[in-house]
Amino acid sequence: MSGSKRTNLVVFILLISGVILSAAPDLQNSPDVTNINDFRTDRVAFHYIQLVDKEGKALPERNLNRDTSESTLLIIDRGQLTLLKDGFDDPAQVKEKEKDYLNKIYKFTRLKDLEQEYYKLPESERTKPSSKTEPNQAETSKTNATSGTSPEPEEKNKEFDLLLKYDDELLKSYAAEKAAYAEYSRTERIYGKDSPKTSSLRTRFEELKSKTQERKKFLLGFLHNTSVDSNPYPGDRKEQIFYTNHSNGLPDFYLHSTTPREVDGLMRGEEEVGKKYGQLFKTAVDRLIDSQIDKLYYYIWNRDMTNTRIKVDRFLKGKKVTVVTGDSTVYTMVDKEGDGITESFFVDSPGLKFSWGKEVPNIISISNCTDQAILAKIKALGDDVSSGRIPKKVDKLDLAIPEEQILLELKPLLKNL
C-alpha cells in the first residue's frame, strides 16, 4: 500500500472514531440478544456506561430512553451467546415509572389549562367561593334527598361543562352517574320505587352522584384557592429517574441463547447471578481490558514498524487521544475534565462485521467510568500515550485472534453457562 493511501486510510479511521465519540447518547446502546448482528464468531466484548453523579442523579447529557448506569459482558462461545449485565433495570418496571410520570404531568397540565379557562367565564356563571366544604349544588342535592324527592344527575351549565372538559375523573364519574340514573329510573317505572331492585339501583346511583359531587368540590376548591402547592409541578422529563439500579461490579442479569434472537436461559437478581457468575464477570472484563492495553502498548512501542498513528485533540476541559494501530484497530481515550484521569476508553475494529450498534465501539466501550477496578487500569492511559510514556514494554504479541485466547483462559469458568 502506498504512503498516500495509508495516510488517507488513517484520516478516514480517525474521522470514524470522532463520529463514534461525538454520538454520546448512542453509547448507551448496550448489547442485547436483539441487536447483536453476528453470532458465528467466538469473541468477548465489554460495554460500560455511567451517566450518574455521586448523588445518584442522572446526568443531563444522556439518552432519556436508555439505561444510565449499566455494564455488559458479552461472550460468544461455540456460537452460543451469554450476556452478563450489572446495573440492569427491568424494562417493565421502567415503563411503569414512565407511565406514572406521564399521568402526573398530564393531570398537572389539565389543571393549569382549567385554571386559565375558568376565569374567562363571566362571574355570574361561576360558583362563588364559600366557607362551607361543599358547593351550592351539593347542598341542593342534600335538600332534595332529605325531602324525599329522587335526586337527578347534575344539571349542566357552562361552569360544569368546563370542569368536565378538563377533568377526566369527573367526566368518567358523571358518565357513570348518568348511566346509573337511567337504569334506576327505568327499573322504578317497571317495578315501582319500593322494589328491592329499585332500591339497590337507587343506592348505586346516589353513590356515584356523591362521587361526582366530591370531585366537583375538589376542583372548585382548587380553583378558588390556587397555589403552587395545590398543583405541584412533577418536574421536567429529563429530571426524572426511571433507571434506579446502578452498576456496582456484580452482575444482576444473565441471558443465554443457543439460537440467534431467542432466549434459552434467563436469570435476574444480584444475589443469584452475582454468586454464580460474579467471578466470570470480573475475570473476563479484567482479561479483556488487559489484553487490549497490551496490544495498544505493543503497537505504540513498534509504531514506526507497524505504521501506528497517534492524534491528540482538545475535548471539553481535557483531551481526547486517538490511536490507530497497524491493523486499523482504533483506540480512543478521553479525559473530559482535564484532571489527568482517563474516564472513557474505547476499542473499535471497523473491519469486524460484529457489532451491537452502528456507532458503538465493538470490542470495548467504557464511558465515564467510576468503577475503581477498571479505572486502575485505564486512568493513566491518555496521559501516557499522549506524552509518549509506555510503562510496559510488549515485544511479542499473538495478534491472531486475542478473543479466542481469552476464551481458552476462561474455559474453567465457562462450563456452567
Q: For the ranges 3-7, 39-43, 95-99, 303-307, which has the lowest average pLDDT?
A: 3-7
* C-beta of residue 106 within 8 angstroms of C-beta of residue 167: no
Over range 150-169, report the average pLDDT.
88
Q: 136: pLDDT confidence band, cut at 50, 70 and 90?
A: very low
Q: For the ranges 1-10, 231-240, 250-259, which has the lowest average pLDDT?
A: 1-10
Q: What is the pLDDT of residue 140?
A: 41
Q: What is the pLDDT of residue 146?
A: 37
Q: What is the pLDDT of residue 401?
A: 57
> CA-CA distance, 69 to 30, in Å (whole number)?
11
Query: 11 versus 154: which is more confidently predicted?
Result: 154
Q: Examine the pLDDT at 132 and tell me if it is beyond 80.
A: no
Q: For the ranges 54-63, 101-110, 235-244, 347-356, which has the lowest average pLDDT?
A: 54-63
Q: What is the pLDDT of residue 143?
A: 38
pLDDT exceeding 90 applies to what percent of the chain? 64
Q: Examine the pLDDT at 141 and tell me if it is beyond 50.
A: no
Beta bridge partners of 77: 80
> CA-CA distance, 265 to 258, in Å (whole number)?
9
Alpha helices, DSSP H only, in 251-314? 270-301, 303-306
Per DSSP, the three-state class of 44 is strand
Q: What is the pLDDT of residue 21?
A: 42
C-alpha cell at position 160: 360544569
C-alpha cell at position 285: 472484563
Per DSSP, the three-state class of 180 is helix
Q: Examine the pLDDT at 128 and tell me if it is beyond 60.
A: yes
Q: For the ranges 21-30, 116-125, 258-267, which has the lowest average pLDDT?
A: 21-30
Over range 39-45, report the average pLDDT.
89
Query: 411 versus 57: which is more confidently predicted?
Result: 411
C-alpha cell at position 81: 451467546
The H or E element spanning position 72 is strand 69-77
CA distances from 35 to 307, 358, 401 (A): 34, 10, 23
pLDDT exceeding 70 applies to what percent of the chain? 88
> CA-CA distance, 65 to 6, in Å (whole number)?
40
What pTM was computed for the model? 0.79
Per DSSP, the three-state class of 313 is strand
Number of Cβ atoms within 10 Å of the Cβ of 353: 10
Query: 230 versus 312: which is more confidently predicted?
Result: 312
- Non-local (6+) Cβ contacts of 284 within 8 A are 44, 46, 73, 75, 406, 410, 413
Rounded to the nearest integer, the mean pLDDT of the chain is: 86
> CA-CA distance, 405 to 399, in Å (whole number)?
10
| 288, 293, 294, 299: CA torsion to nearest 10 | 130
Eight-state DSSP code of residue 126: S
Query: 320 versus 133: which is more confidently predicted?
Result: 320
Top-confidence range, 16-25, 223-232, 327-336: 327-336
Q: What is the pLDDT of residue 147?
A: 35
Q: What is the pLDDT of residue 137?
A: 42
The H or E element spanning position 385 is helix 381-387
Over range 221-248, report the average pLDDT.
89
Q: Examine the pLDDT at 14 and tell me if it is beyond 50.
A: no
**To which residue does cell 328491592 refer?**
196
> CA-CA distance, 376 to 373, in Å (whole number)?
5
> CA-CA distance, 250 to 271, in Å (whole number)?
9
Over range 43-68, report the average pLDDT.
87
Q: Examine the pLDDT at 17 and tell me if it is beyond 50.
A: no
Beta bridge partners of 80: 77
Q: Examine the pLDDT at 176 and tell me if it is beyond 90.
A: yes
Per DSSP, the three-state class of 238 is helix
Q: Examine the pLDDT at 23 and tell me if it is beyond 70.
A: no
Instruction: Report long-range pairs for 308-314 (Cβ below 8 Å, ≥24 apart).
Output: 309/10, 309/14, 310/385, 310/386, 311/14, 312/386
Buried b (16+ CB within 10 A) or exposed e, 307-345: bbbebeeebeebbbbbbbbbebbbbbbbbbeeeebbbbb
